[in-house]
Amino acid sequence: MGKKSEVIEREEVVIRFSGDSGDGMQLTGTLFSDTAALFGNDLSTFPDYPAEIRAPQGTVGGVSGFQVHLGHSKINTPGDFSDVLVAMNPAAIKANAKWIKPGGTIIYDEGNFTEKNIEKAGYLKDPIAEEKLESYNIIAAPISSMVKEALKDFGLDPKSVLRTKNMFALGMVYWLFERKLSYTENYFEKKFKKNPVMIEANKVALRAGYYYAETIEALNPTYKILPADIAKGTYRNINGNTATAWGFLAAAEKAGLKLFIGSYPITPATGILEELAARKDLGVKSFQAEDEIAGICTSLGASFAGCLAVTSTSGPGLALKSEAIGLAVMAELPIVVVNVQRGGPSTGLPTKTEQADLMQALYGRNGECPVVVIASSTPSDCFHFAFEAAKIALEHMTPVLLLSDSYLANGTEPWRIPEMKDLPKINPPFADPSETPFLPYKRDIYKLARSWAIPGIPGLEHRIGGLEKTFKGTVSYTPENHEEMVMVRAEKVERVANEIPDLEVYGSKSGDLLVVGWGGSYGYLITAVRELIDEGFKVGLVNFNYINPLPKNVKDVFKRFKKIVVCELNMGQFANYLRIKHQEFTYEQINKVQGLPFTVNDIKENCLKMLEA
């Protein structure tokens, strides 16, 4: 191996892998992220999938991307612009040209830059010239031809050979950032343990890319990003869907209950169902239903039978589940409905992110039908809020709607695995068969939760269903009783505010501007606010996780700032909700509905205009 001419130490770097959906860019990005995490870097990732299952090859609509932002210090976003772009075809240049930092490095597979592919991507002749990228560090690597040469004696068919070209590209990036190959080689051994030829072929392609990068002067200097200073513990790289599933597993254990999930597969929520279906070893009962309605109705049945019951979906599925959520409210049964949001309406943008469903979560049911609504902020804290959603549902005997989104579901970050002994106990309010007469809707005086009567226990027989009941459990059409029960169900949800934490302000506790977000916008907002504070501005940030009910100290926080701006990936749903709940304040808005998360630059530029005004 030759000597590297120069090594530059960097605080952080952003890399984007991009190509056709069949080029393995998601796997390439995941393997690079895992290696960075094992090295000790903090990181955040953003997988970006095509909306079509199999978009036309070579077109911009078929481009699949994976962006990873890694650093020596705390990383909260996948990054706005990339330092390095790996482009497997011309369409990947077309889709990503505006997202590369000036002077960044572009590595592309020259074998795929054929006249046909250039035309498919919408170029005339030369993508680099037409995008005015000549001043960038351009590496035209013969990736396809070199993997063919490296694997010519392996006896593989041409398609199998070309499937390894993503590993060649990964090897180049490993050399550029001084990363070990061993973690990825171990992955090959596990993935292809029944196919030794594929293990060796992928290893050869990976090393070929690494050594090719070593020989070309254009990839000098290389970069070093030191490990981050993080708390001691056992970490793993985790995405939001997996973290959500694990939060439910932990909650079931702490409650001493079996976990049941009844769901219909829907992008981008399917990963929750898949993860829980794989955990029969932990007693999980999973049911892949024939449709969204069956999914939630089986979960309601499981809740009635005494399980921690969850169902997962996205926006269109939440619409279909609305009647059954109303049944859960009327029956006062604990259930968690996870909505992993995506762009809409209708099928909309099934693989793209958007905070599209807040109003639906709050109000999208018939009648006076309040439910608890909470939202996760980062991929890893999906674990915490899934646990919290289950705890609230079980202890308050109410449905809880947990909002995630496509960005959180598929994005990854390092997560410190908690000790089960450190998680709080969950205490479901089981009915006592010795209390006679049994009153199904007799309530806990603090939470207003009714007791949970499990079927089959003598003395706890009671009516269940969608008709209005009295406190004794008998069907009633009396106007006064209906009004009283409606009021009690609403008050029960409001009393959850007694057990949720106060709103915390990051940055200035009072000042010129309060930046307000909710759910998955957190990473971009905190990064923008941190930079504004470093530049001398009196700016604070609050990011809401508990939405219905809101934390008790909202008014106290809001009144300490001259201006309030609400940032969300929709047309202003949370801003309008705050206008209902806290009319005494004026709310500015920063909104984006492009199927993409915010950029830090989006937030900073708009905040600076408000501060200057």
Query: At 598, which CATH number?
Result: 3.40.50.920
* Whether residues 202 and 316 fall in one domain: no
* Whether residues 219 and 242 fall in one domain: no
pLDDT band at 1 (very low <50, low <70, confident <90, very high): very low
Q: For a pLDDT cut of 90, what percent of the chain falls above it?
A: 92
Cβ-based burial of 166 (10 A; exposed 0-12, middle 13-18, buried ≥19): buried
Longest dimension (CA), the chain: 87
| Residue 5, pLDDT score | 58
Q: DSSP letter string over 119-188?
A: HHTT-SS-HHHHTT-TTSEEEEE-HHHHHHHHTTTS---HHHHHTTHHHHHHHHHHHHTT--SHHHHHHH
Question: In the predicted model, is pLDDT for residue 502 greater than 80?
Answer: yes
Residue 230 inside a domain? The answer is: no
Residue 2 inside a domain? The answer is: no
Query: What global pTM score does this model have?
Result: 0.95
Residue 1 inside a domain? The answer is: no
- How many domains, the chain? 3
Of 468, 499, 530, which one is at a domain's C-terminal end? 499
Higher pLDDT, 611 or 231: 611
* Whether residues 119 and 95 fall in one domain: yes
* Whether residues 440 and 315 fall in one domain: yes
**Burial state string for 186-215 with b = 16 or more CB within 10 A and e = fewer than 16:** ebbeeeeeeeeebbebbbbbbbbbbebbbe
Of 463, 478, 499, which one is at a domain's C-terminal end? 499
Residue 158 inside a domain? The answer is: yes
Mean pLDDT score, 510-515: 98
Q: CB of 143 within 8 A of CB of 167? A: no
Residue 431 inside a domain? The answer is: yes
Residue 343 inside a domain? The answer is: yes
| Residue 229, pLDDT score | 83
Q: Which residues pair with 515 in a beta bridge?
A: 541, 565
Domain that holds residue 476: 235-499
Q: How far apart are CA 85 and CA 73, in angstroms?
A: 22
- Going by C-beta distance under 8 Å and a sequence separation of 6 or more, which residues neighbour residue 576? 359
CATH number at residue 96: 3.40.920.10
Residue 352 inside a domain? The answer is: yes
| Residue 6, pLDDT score | 78
Q: What is the pLDDT of residues 34-52, one digit of tens each?
A: 999 989 999 999 999 887 7
Q: What is the pLDDT of residues 291-312, one digit of tens each?
A: 999 999 999 999 999 999 999 9
* Whether residues 109 and 23 fall in one domain: yes
| Residue 8 C-alpha from the chain's centroid | 33
Question: In the predicted model, is pLDDT for residue 8 greater than 90?
Answer: no
| Residue 230, pLDDT score | 81
* Whether residues 462 and 390 fall in one domain: yes
Question: In the predicted model, is pLDDT for residue 4 greater than 60?
Answer: no
CATH number at residue 281: 3.40.50.970
| Residue 219, pLDDT score | 75
| Residue 204, pLDDT score | 97
Of 173, 191, 224, which one is at a domain's C-terminal end? 224
pLDDT band at 56 (very low <50, low <70, confident <90, very high): confident
DSSP state for residue 452 in the 8-state scheme? B
Mean pLDDT score, 59-70: 94
DSSP 3-state assignment of 335?
strand
Q: What is the pLDDT of residues 256-273, one digit of tens each?
A: 999 999 999 999 999 999
* Whether residues 492 and 349 fall in one domain: yes
* Whether residues 419 and 493 fall in one domain: yes
Q: How far apart are CA 217 and CA 257, in angstroms?
A: 61
Q: How far apart are CA 504 and CA 57, in angstroms?
A: 48
Alpha carbon of 451 to those of 259, 331, 574: distances in Å?
A: 19, 11, 33
Question: In the predicted model, is pLDDT for residue 315 greater than 70?
Answer: yes
pLDDT band at 57 (very low <50, low <70, confident <90, very high): confident
* Whether residues 476 and 518 fall in one domain: no
* Whether residues 126 and 47 fall in one domain: yes
Mean pLDDT of the chain: 95
Mean pLDDT score, 366-390: 98
Q: How far apart are CA 520 and CA 532, in angstroms?
A: 20
* Whether residues 266 and 409 fall in one domain: yes
Q: How far apart are CA 167 and CA 207, in angstroms?
A: 9
Mean pLDDT score, 236-249: 97
Taken in order 335, 325, 359, 351, is the CA torsion positive or negative?
Answer: positive
| Residue 32, pLDDT score | 96
Q: What is the pLDDT of residues 529-557, one digit of tens each?
A: 999 999 999 999 999 999 999 999 999 99
| Residue 597, pLDDT score | 95
| Residue 54, pLDDT score | 73
Q: How far apart are CA 469 and CA 514, in angstroms?
A: 45
